Chains A and B, each alone.
Chain A
Amino acid sequence: MKIRTKTDLEKIKERGIEILYPKGIKISVGMATCGISTGAQKVYETIQNEVEKSRLPIIINQTGCIGFCQREPVVDILEPGKPRVFYQEVTPEKAMRLVHEWIENRVIKDWLFFKMEDEEWIVDNKFWNYSIKQLPKGLDGAYIYRQIPFYNKQLKIALRNCGFINPDHIEEYIARGGYFPLYKALHEMKPEDIIEEVKRSGLRGRGGAGFPTGQKWESCRRAKGDIKYVLCNADEGDPGAYMDRSVLEGDPHSVIEGMIIGAYAIGAHEGFIYVRDEYPLAIKKLQTAIHQAEEFGLLGEDILGSGFSFKINLFRGGGAFVCGESTALMASIEGKVGEPRAKHIHTTESGLWDRPSNLNNVETWNNIPVIISRGSEWYSKIGTDKSKGTKVFSIVGKVNNTGLIEVPMGITLREIVYEIGGGIPEGKKFKAVQTGGPSGGCIPESLLDLPVDFDRLTEVGSMMGSGGMIVMDESTCMVDVAKYFMNFLKDESCGKCTSCREGTKRMHEILTEITEGRGKLEYLDLLEELGWVTAEASLCALGGTAPNPVLSTLRYFRDEYKEHIINRRCPAKVCRALLKYRILPEACTMCGRCAKVCPADAISGKRKTKKEEGIPFKIEEEKCIKCGMCFESCKFNAIEVQ
């Protein structure tokens, strides 16, 4: 059925609420890529089979990711009159038990994640109350969602629906306020009003550079041309960042709705979503969502009876990092090699097929419906002076709680790492946090109280990027990290500009020399000089920011470089050529495990048995390939790395 009036939309909303909050028991399994990779598919099938076999009165459902990826697979149970209960790290066996316990009105306390008493509909500015009348046995004392340190500082605008709706059901998206902002935009606002509202909200592009979104839209609207395009950059290439994947897998309609509003404001009738090849599930969810939006009259001719038409094409990338750059992305859609070009003329004037084109990333588009619904005044109160709203970060690496978080701009790095992230595992010492992907930099402990926003991160030599935050501890080598990024960038540089192609390659060579014990002190100045030239002489942002990982580590961790060069030592014990493995004879229990796992036959000794005395094991240095297998396998801490 095609939605034409507000009454139609209200009717679908009612239907969506019935599906979202059914009369019986509903069990949902988080089935984004992170859930599936920890076994959510099997959990889902187990519950499904059990429900069919035992004829249980249960609806089984799939959702996206609730953000705390580390605790996947996550399963939640919803029943009228009871709190919503979330279980963590569910296995098929656990799933069987907790389903049956629930039917007996009991929960298994040890496996609980948290409970919810209501949920927030951010678009509607409403709370949906579960009207609790009874508590299952064992639930008293369970954490409430908002009390968990991981969640209590978060404000979910972009991730508003992830984990709460089935991404394949457009009705559920509408139930939580979706497509009402579109109705408002098309029927109650002029294109200029929308642009003004987005400008006033202070929204800046979430893809990396932080360009003001409203200003971009305005220049594209003003550009001459009958045919204009809006594009969505879903080529989320920064390693360590996966918020766009999560949004596309868990809430694809939020992006589609944002794009339709943007197209109307700009005057475009065709759009493209460029999704990276590595995200097959996101592509599938988008296909379904686009198809549904077309069926409901939200894409195509005469959208919502407004006379406005717009269609969206899905484009799958080919696995090239540089295609996340706007001009390279457009070249790729045109069927050319994805190489950037000089931007003397902005893409808002001459982009895809030389037509005015407006490109925003997934998270930017996804914010639009909320801004239209709640208004710029509300939105601009969140965040800092020049960076408004919230930002989604993926907090990963050497940190206790890993996952996706959404926080107001201006929160400090310390709050993110220690309060939300729960600090560093195994009692190790914090060393740095890397933000901004290969274009960003490493921020040391002394800057942990830095408020996180676009400008402050740039000031300290890093950048916001798409929001990856990789926490590093004392066992991470900063020279190795710089080498890692140079290796990445030399492979991903498209090769068009000599400065980028050769600069990244030479920096990588120098860093390899240093990590292999052949470094010289003058290399440090050379690295800085090379970095400067690469940044200045390259066309696009890839080359322009490529030296950041080297320059920022040189700025904050120069001593670590010097230690590699002067003393031929890697303090973090990462750079293999500088390491020595040794078995401590007094700690060796002669179990022989290390010799068994050694791929190079470099460990000799004799196993101790009940009948025979053993000989402590020893590593022959010239045979050792320093793979670390013995170190990992030893249960008695008898192997020392120097």
Chain B
Amino acid sequence: MTQSEIDTIIEEHGRKESAILAILQRIQSKENYLPKEDLEYISQKLKIPLTSIFRIATFYNALSLKPRGRHKIDVCLGTACHVRGGGKILEKLERELKISVGETTKDKKFSLESVRCLGCCSLGPVAVIDGQVYGRLTQDKIPSLLKEFK
């Protein structure tokens, strides 16, 4: 992200400590991760030590220091999804994409993550791909679901 783009975001949210999470989320949603140079720039502008920013960036699950894929898959492992087989859905995805949870495919197409409850418990097991919720999943449905994104 260019420095002037970052400046615009900082101005929108205010040059204050309490805006840091919102600013990082904006960069995350645009870049799919938090580039190191962006964090260094924010640290200078907001006069917050870089270590503090790194602490925040690694504390919250929504933020990532590693680039994520073009399509982000979040498999719900909330309790309701767990008892209905959410773990098996995750494993099937790991086998299909040949990556482990938390990783990104080599072609940068998919990132696979797990989340704790999306609040769609009635429809479990549930996964979210690019913000779209898919409910009542079975292992069978996974290959054709992934094809929608190829």
**Which A residues contact B (CB, under 8 angstroms)?**
33-34, 36-38, 69-70, 72, 236-242, 245-246, 277-280, 315-321, 332-338, 394, 396-398, 402-403, 434, 437, 468, 470, 472, 476, 481, 484-485, 488, 492, 494, 597, 599, 627-629, 632-633
CA distance A69 to B117 in the complex (A): 15
Query: Which stretch in B3-11, B65-73, B103-111, B118-126 binds the other chain?
Result: B118-126
Specify which of A236, A280, A319 is in contact with B60 (CB 8 Å cutoff): A319
CA distance A38 to B120 in the complex (A): 10
Known A-B contacts A318-B62, A320-B59, A629-B139; the reply to A33 vs B21 at CB < 8 A is no
Shortest 7 CB-CB distances between A and B: which pairs?
Answer: A318-B60, A242-B119, A239-B78, A37-B133, A69-B122, A319-B61, A239-B117
Q: Is the CB of A318 within 8 A of B25?
A: yes
The residue of chain B having its C-beta at the shortest distance from the C-beta of A471 within the complex is: B83
Chain A residue contacts of B95, Cβ below 8 A: 599, 627
Specify which of B78, B131, B135 is in contact with A38 (CB 8 Å cutoff): B135
CA distance A173 to B132 in the complex (A): 28
The residue of chain A having its C-beta at the shortest distance from the C-beta of B95 within the complex is: A599
Shortest CB-to-CB span from B88 to chain A, Å, is 6
Shortest CB-to-CB span from A206 to chain B, Å, is 16
Specify which of B61, B115, B119, B139 is in contact with A632 (CB 8 Å cutoff): B139
Specify which of A34, A239, A633 is in contact with B122 (CB 8 Å cutoff): A34
8 contacts between A and B (CB under 8 A): A33-B120, A240-B80, A318-B21, A320-B60, A320-B61, A394-B121, A403-B122, A627-B91
Shortest CB-to-CB span from B43 to chain A, Å, is 13
**Which B residues contact A (CB, under 8 angstroms)?**
16-22, 24-25, 48, 55-56, 59-63, 77-84, 88, 91-92, 95, 115-124, 126, 131-136, 138-140
The residue of chain B having its C-beta at the shortest distance from the C-beta of A276 within the complex is: B119
Known A-B contacts A319-B60, A398-B83; the reply to A242 vs B133 at CB < 8 A is no
Known A-B contacts A279-B119, A318-B62, A320-B59; the reply to A332 vs B82 at CB < 8 A is no
CA distance A632 to B19 in the complex (A): 49
Chain A residue contacts of B80, Cβ below 8 A: 239-240, 396-397, 468, 470
Q: Is the CB of B119 within 8 A of A38?
A: no
CA distance A468 to B122 in the complex (A): 11
Q: Is the CB of A337 within 8 A of B121?
A: no
Known A-B contacts A239-B79, A396-B124, A397-B84; the reply to A278 vs B63 at CB < 8 A is no
Q: Is the CB of A37 within 8 A of B120?
A: yes
Chain B residue contacts of A38, Cβ below 8 A: 123, 135-136
CA distance A552 to B22 in the complex (A): 39
Known A-B contacts A69-B122, A396-B124; the reply to A37 vs B134 at CB < 8 A is yes
Chain B residue contacts of A597, Cβ below 8 A: 140
CA distance A583 to B99 in the complex (A): 30
Q: Is the CB of A318 within 8 A of B61?
A: yes
Chain B residue contacts of A70, Cβ below 8 A: 122-123
Specify which of A72, A396, A632 is in contact with B121 (CB 8 Å cutoff): A396
The residue of chain B having its C-beta at the shortest distance from the C-beta of A487 within the complex is: B77
Chain B residue contacts of A332, Cβ below 8 A: 21
CA distance A37 to B118 in the complex (A): 11
Q: Is the CB of B115 within 8 A of A278?
A: yes
Shortest CB-to-CB span from B62 to chain A, Å, is 4
Shortest CB-to-CB span from A96 to chain B, Å, is 23
Specify which of B17, B78, B91 is in contact with A334 (CB 8 Å cutoff): B17
Known A-B contacts A239-B117, A240-B117, A337-B56; the reply to A633 vs B140 at CB < 8 A is yes
Chain A residue contacts of B21, Cβ below 8 A: 316-318, 332, 335
CA distance A484 to B90 in the complex (A): 15
